[in-house]
Structure 1
Amino acid sequence: MATRFAVFAALCAGLHSAPMAQALEDQTVHQRFSCLQREEVLEPLPEKTLNNRNSGLLRFKLRFESAEKPPKVELLFRSADPDMERIARRYLSGYRVPCLHQGDHPIEVVQEFSFSRWGHEPAVPLTTRASKLRFAGPKTLDAYDSPEVGKALIEFSFVDGSEVPEVRFLFNGAGREAQRYIESYAKQIRLIDSGGQPRPITVQQEFAFVDARSRGTQYRLNKEDYGLLEFLRLVKNLNENLVDLDLDSMQCPFAVRLNLRQPYNANLVREIETLNANRAYLLSWLSRLQLRFKDEAQQKDLFGSDFRISIPCGRLDLTVLNKPAGAASAPP
């Protein structure tokens, strides 16, 4: 979310460490969508389609406006047999989100079907940058004179009728004094406008405690701009996160910005210039990737690092990494 209610650096001049708070990130849509109900399996393809050995891809955007009704369906991309689209649409008509309350904002997700293996990946919720949530924080800040430096990520939830949020630390690389400081600050946050959404409402916020007298973090990435394949060379256990993505269907080329948070929380991934729902699976996949770190100290130090990844056109097929050497594809 784009609302910034606290930027601390200018207010803390002269202190040992200057705490800084990043923009709030609304997590509510993920909570609402977690209760999705659907059938377990797709109906089989017709014999004639199987005989043709057609493969392809379907990608839909779904909009849920009611707990009792199926989603509104918009076709984003199709490279598949008409029978496949018919079966997929019938399957989607069975989707329900029973925990979507009256007054909630509609939930939009992207659902993709791959017909080379006749199945589908989990649906990916779409988040909006134009959140209508509004918050108020303390106008004056307590002095922070601890030498502790580092970063932290918190999640706070507004539940029931309580004005004071529930606070949970997702990551704390700054120490106990920083934790007490953040807890005191977060307890003073108030939700002044929910934009019509009922509770619970959950947001995340990142903090950084930087010593103005030092050079900052001990470890840094060599650069802040990577090509996609160049970035993937830094990823840990890539063979556990294999994908087959048609980048040509995503209005390529384009770029994303990734805020590094794994393994403590999902990476924050945002499109930079253009927005396109066809990219939802790519962004979700990037959010799950973890880099190879030298040790835990480096892992904590690089938390919150921000860099740009350039996405080319073409096809990104990493499933070949799981095929035995010399294995051949089935003949057409």
Structure 2
Amino acid sequence: MRVVVAMSGGVDSAVAAARMVDAGHEVVGVHLALSQNAATLRESARGCCTIEDAGDARRVADVLGIPFYVWDLAARFREEVVEDFLSEYAAGRTPNPCVRCNERIKFAALLDKAVALGFDAVATGHYAQVVERPEGRRELHRAVDPRKDQSYVLGVLDEGQLSRSFFPLGDTTKPQIREEAQARGFYVASKPDSHDICFIPDGDTRGFLSGSLGEQPGDLVDTEGRVVGSHSGAYGFTVGQRRGLGLDRGALDGEPRFVVGVEARTNTVVIGTRDLLGVDAIVGGHARWCGPAPDGVAKVGAQLRAHGEEYPATAWADGDTVHVRLAERARGVAPGQSVVLYAGTRVIGSATIHKAFAAPASP
């Protein structure tokens, strides 16, 4: 097969490219230029997609003897991921930009361009597994290394995208990948991993939002509507947050307070006690299925964060709406996050959370 390997300049995509070559595919390495102002050197271990990263990817391609190109997707990344990130926070929601990037850039823009150029598939360095069934259907599964498993952020792939995707690292642990890279003579074998949000290399999400959206002073209120503090922008808060609330604790009863709601329309942040955070009912939209959608009510595992725990649950679909009932309550579930559904290690699909609440007790 003719395969494009997305090469970020890190160790994972380097080994992914090498394994696709070893498997006998005709491989071309592609580095995605996603920043419109890429720095010459990395500012920290958090970011990626710099000119230096492109150079690291090119050196690996040279070692492997494969063609290498840089594809400029910066404008589309800005529109589809960064602007979406800002608009979601401005609306009082908490998005996951890695999920959005996989959906709209790596397995839409990149894959579409690759197919248009005559390639058969795209491979990446994500830690996940594709299992091909005897009837030819492909399934997305968790990686064998639970600490590195990235199936959650891939839960937005539909069946057609999955049929053209390879994840060569899913059967290997991260230490083994570094050892393999060292044995292959890759310069990036000991390169630090990037962390958090790639377009916020300093990790200061609130600072990034403030610089982009401007200060918008508003009130912190309790669940009775009493003003207990102030803020410089409701977009800087998310459900479940405890730190950085700026409360006058002398005016409280000493019990910790958390964000329990963000009301963008009134620019108000609602705080409350820990017990108000527990939810067991989730309604989501923008359903994405990695295979057939659930038929009726299905027993599933539900994961609510990229590296969060999996909750036993039941789920059913109603068109583009997905309903999930957790067997136990979860805390800090915010609109805008993704809920990803599993059957064992298999990813069933995902939805974007619209609301989460404590379901009324059965009579």
> Taking structure 1 as the reference length, what is the TM-score of the superposition?
0.28
Structure with greater helix percent: 2
TM-score (norm 2): 0.27
